[in-house]
Structures are given as structure tokens and as C-alpha cells.
Amino acid sequence: MIRKAVLPILFCFGVFFSPSLEAQPPKLVVAILVDQLRYDYLERFHDHFCEGGFKLLAEKGTFLTFARYDYCPTVTGPGHASFLSGTSPSVHGIIGNDWFDKASKKSVYCCSDESVHGVGTSSPAGKMSPRNFIGGTLADEMRLRFRSKVIGISMKDRGAIFPAGKQPAGAYWFESSSGKFITSSYYRPELPNWVEKFNSEERPKAFVGQTWERLLEPSKYLWEDDQLGEGMFAGEKSPVFPHAIAISPKAGYENIISSPYGNALLADFAKAAIEGEQLGQGPQTDLLSVSFSCIDYVGHRFGPYSQEVQDITLRLDRQLADLLAYIDQKIGLSNTAIVLTADHGVAPTPEFSKTHGLGGERIDDIALVGELLEKLNDRFGEGSYLLHRKLSDGQLHFNHETLREKHIAAPVLAEFIREWALATGKFQACFTREQLLNGQTPGAVGRLVLNGYNAERSGDIVLVLKPYILHSGSKSGTTHGSPFSYDTHVPVLFYGPSFKSGRYSDEFYITDIAPTLSAALHMESPAGCLGKPLSKILAAP
């Protein structure tokens, strides 16, 4: 009787775990991050997309329409660090593109590493690594699970470095002064042959002297050219089409990165990486991380309601279609898992938002902190109360030596600054280090600030500007970094046999991408992962 009872159970277990019924992992995971791609771009520009780019991913893949960042500041370094780590700056420690280091009392760039040297360059642009990043990413877990080959590429160093994890086969970024892709000695002692070959072709030179014209006729663009607050390329008299691409004596090929030609160059480099590293063509599952940077440069200069942003997004759509067609021909999209998202959005220019009744203002950080210092001197007497005069991502660092000398408790100073900030009419909220360490940050904004706060690296107080008010010393252009929807709402798209197609309005955060991919790949999530998988979008079994 016992044997009869046990046999059906064993039979069921055998069928459930039968190797013939197990899902085969993809040959290649392609993780695409588009710098400053707001969610609404995919809706606003949808009718002018081609069939094989954004439309393919959105209509044949999984489109998460309510995906958001669950922390601030929403800037490039933290966005790329969070993308495949499943965690926020509170854990991975990349709290900004730069931050004030309390030990050295100097500004630190998120990727800087003085212990390494450039490979393919002798300039400081090569002295970069992921050493400031705490923990690991999906890339690291894939290496442990599948012995994956991992390659990260971008026009920006931080875009190539952070998603690729701690020990990829390579991470490569564009050096605008030379027009070449480079790396650092952290990764390897010399450039591989395929990168050397790509660089030797001097492809950036082909774009110099080109004119960036509109892809479509002017009537197809949603806003008129030359919106309020737009910036200009050097040498231009007005911010309108066409735009000439020229080499700058100081910045080299920087103008290429501020145009669609930079995305075209990176897409070609992605093909070269697949070919040169034979990605997706071995027995293991490989990972290619691609960060397209150029929409960010254009968005900063012209704003999200410009013809330039619409045009570069439409052109990236065609470039993506071409890259996906190449992957389909080389590896097969049926053997590929794709995820696409953005590292942040962007605010309208203050001039644009003000004209449309939304308010808007540019804040000069140094002048504002100067006003605060005068107030502090009036209240507590002459003294050096702050370690710097810049509101770096809204953070201030107290000079605790001065506080000890004057017998001023840090919470007393923080309370004074909070009352001053809220009285200016420019700030939405203000949180002290004590509040943040104790988890006492009420409201939706407080939760985002808390997730972006790292106890080791962040400041003594965090100030959040009101919507449409920007930290900007410039008279034109715009920026990002806030906890508001124009900066936090981004598209997330999954594509491939591992995922169900459809539009989903489920609550989904950037920190949910890594665990969702991990679940699809039947592997462990990254070490610091705080997110959860959205299992309803996963294909059976």
C-alpha cells in the first residue's frame, strides 16, 4: 500500500522536473538603457515609429506603463547603478553623478578610480571603474549562474560601467577628445582586436560636417521649433533646424554625442561587440548592456517639448530597429531576452512650463547657499557652517568641527535650515539626517528621498525643490533629478519568449527589473536587490 501511494507522487515530481519540459534559457540578454527617455515619448511619438523598433517592443512585448523610479535624485549615475542591481542608492551607494566626500572634503565622481589607468587613452577619461558601486548586478549573478560573457557599452563611462557589474569581459565608453572607444586597466591591459579595428576605421570623422536635418516634414512635429528656454549649439544664432556637426578644439567630437549620430555610432559598436565577442553564440547565456546617451544631451539643451528631442527619438527608433534586425539575423530574437528602460526623465524648461501656467524658475545654487550662510551668521555668529557652497543634488554637509567649537547641536542647525528653506517658497520638502537614519520621512516624496539616501555618503540635510523649479546656473536648457513624475516616470519594456506580451499598468519600479529578469532566467537576484519580480508577465513554466 505504501508503494502504491508513493509511486504517483514520484511520477508527478518526475514529470514536473523533466528536463524536456524545462524552459531553455535565452542565448543572449540585451539590456538597453536610453538616457533621459521619458515615458510619454513612447506615447506622443508612437504614430511616427517604424514597425521594428519601439513599436515591436511595445506591441509584441511587455509594456509596463506605470514604471517609475522609487528614489531620488533621478540622475544618470544612480539610474545606471540601479538598472540591473535591483536596488537603490541607499544600498549601492551611487548617490549622484558626483558627491561630496566627507573624508577627503572633495567632490568625487561616481566612476573615478585613481588606482587604474586608461586603456586606449592616456587621458583621465580612462581612470574609471565600478569600485564605488557597492554590491553586484544581474551581470555578476549571470556569470555565477551561466558563466556568462558580459559586455557593457555606452557613450558615457558610467553608462557602460555600472550595468556590467564587477567583473565583465569588458566595458567600453566613448572618448570625445579622440573619437575612440576606450576602457581602463581595471578590466584589461589592452583593447581587444575588435575594438582596435572599430577605432581604426575612424567612423566619427564621417559625421563631421554633416547637417542634422529633420527626419520628417515640419508639420509632423508636435511643437513649433524654437520653444522657450532652448539652448543652442556653439556658433549658432538660434536653436532651430538644421544643426551643423563640427569638431570643437576643446571638446573634440562632443557635438556628435549631442546629435543622433552618436546613437548611430553606438549601435554600430554594439554590432561589433556581438561579432567580436561572439555574444549569444556559445553554450552559455551572455549579456550585452547598451546605454544610448544622446537623447540626454539633446534633452538638456533643448527640453522635452522640442523638435530636436522628437527627432532624435524617432531616429533612435530606426536605429533600434536596425540593431534588433541584426540580432535576429545573427542570433534570433526567439533566442534573445530584451529589456529597455531609461535612467530618468527630464523637466520642461522653466520658461516653457511658466508660459503654460505651471510655474517655473531657475535657481542659482551658489547664490542661494550664500543667502543661507548670511542667515546662519546672523543667527549663530560668524563661522564656517557648511563644507561646500553647492547644493549637490539638494544636499548640504555640515562642518561639524565648527558646530563642536560653538556648541551647536546638529539637529538645531538642521531645524534652522529647514525653516529657512521652507520660508523661501522654493522648496517642497526638507529632511534631516536624523529623520532619514530613523526612517521618519513621511509621504511619497519622503519615501523617494529615503531610498536615495546612503548613510555613509549622503549629507546632513536634503532639500527638495518644488515642481518646475530647477537647479540651474544656465539661462537655457533644462535638467532632472527630482522626485516628480516628469523625472521618475519611465518606460519599461520586456521582449522575448520569456515574457507575455501586453500593456500592464501594475505598480512597477526600476528596482523590479533585476528580480523579474532573474526569475525569467531561473537564477538568484543580485545581492542588494530590494525589488520583487512581476511574475504575471513571465511566460510558462
**Which 3 state secondary structure label does DSSP give 94?**
coil
Q: Cα separation of 391 and 395, whole Å?
A: 5
What are the strands, taking DSSP E only, across 129-226?
150-154, 170-175, 180-184, 211-212
Task: Name 491's Cβ contacts closer than 8 Å, sequence gap at least 6.
Answer: 37, 39, 41, 42, 58, 63, 64, 65, 67, 340, 341, 342
Q: Cα separation of 88 and 518, whole Å?
A: 17
**Which 3 state secondary structure label does DSSP give 144?**
helix
Tally of CB atoms within 10 A around 232: 16
DSSP 209-246: T-EE--SS-GGGSSS-SS-TT----TT-SSS-S-EE--
What are the strands, taking DSSP E only, across 14-162?
28-34, 62-64, 67-68, 98-101, 106-109, 118-119, 150-154
DSSP class of residue 128? Answer: B
CA dihedral 289, 290, 291, 295 (to 10 degrees): -150
Residues 320, 44 contacting (CB under 8 angstroms): no
Catalytic residue, candidates 62, 65, 74, 76 = 76
Q: Is the peptide bond before 163 cis (omega within 30 degrees of 0)?
A: no
Region of 444 on the Ramachandran plot (φ > 0 left; ψ -120 to 50 alpha; else beta): alpha
CA distances from 32 to 77, 84, 199, 267, 337 (A): 15, 11, 22, 11, 11
Over the range 146-179, which residues count as b (16 or more CB within 10 Å of their CB) and which as e?
bebbbbbbbbbbbbbbbbbbbebbbbbbbbbebb
Tally of CB atoms within 10 A around 415: 15
Q: Is the peptide bond before 541 cis (omega within 30 degrees of 0)?
A: yes
Residues 42, 55 contacting (CB under 8 angstroms): no
Half-sphere exposure of 81 (CA within 13 A, CB side): 31
336 annotated active-site: no
Q: Is the peptide bond before 124 cis (omega within 30 degrees of 0)?
A: no
393: which 3 cell numbers?
543634488
DSSP class of residue 207? Answer: G
- As to burial, measured by CB atoms within 10 angstroms (0-12 exposed, 13-18 middle, 19+ buried), residue 126 is buried
Residues 344, 159 contacting (CB under 8 angstroms): no
- As to burial, measured by CB atoms within 10 angstroms (0-12 exposed, 13-18 middle, 19+ buried), residue 270 is buried
The set of catalytic residues is 76
